[in-house]
Amino acid sequence: MWFTLAAVVTGAVLGVLIGRRPRHLPDRRFRLWPLVAAGIVLQVASHASLALVIASYVFLLAFVALNIRRPGMGVVLVGLALNLVPIAVNSGMPVRAAALVQVGAVDTGADAASLHLGGKRHIERSSDRLTVLGDII
């Protein structure tokens, strides 16, 4: 979620730097933009249920599909789909224990194995599929 916020802020700053102005944003008509709000709310509330996570992605994918002719929406569609697929296939996003050690979230892989990530993430299991699409970095 923080990465998404950072991407939006970075995009806004870069837009201003190249001469675009926020006042022109209302001129851009996005179809069914409340789907984005619903998707974000469900992402935030998703610590309780995998179903909420999947519903949030469905809302976000629907918004992108309805606005696919906008510049960049194809890339957003691919990114959302590549996040949704491992979550749906594995009942959550697999996270490599080594990644948690590397970022300092835990001291050892053994510590990571006992960690409950909650929401849409879990420590990668041998039964997980498409782990290359999981949270590995």
For tokens 């409340």, name the residue. 34
The whole domain housing 105 covers: 31-133
Number of domains composing the chain: 1
The β-bridge partners of 123 are 95
Q: pTM score, two decimals?
A: 0.74
Based on C-alpha coordinates, what's the Rg of the chain? 17
Domain presence at residue 62: yes
- Which pLDDT tens digits describe the chain residue by residue (137 residues)? 566 667 778 877 888 888 877 776 666 778 888 899 999 888 887 676 888 889 999 999 999 999 999 888 999 999 999 999 999 999 888 988 887 888 777 777 777 777 777 768 888 888 999 988 887 76
Residue closest to 94 by CA, chosen among 125, 70, 73, 57: 125
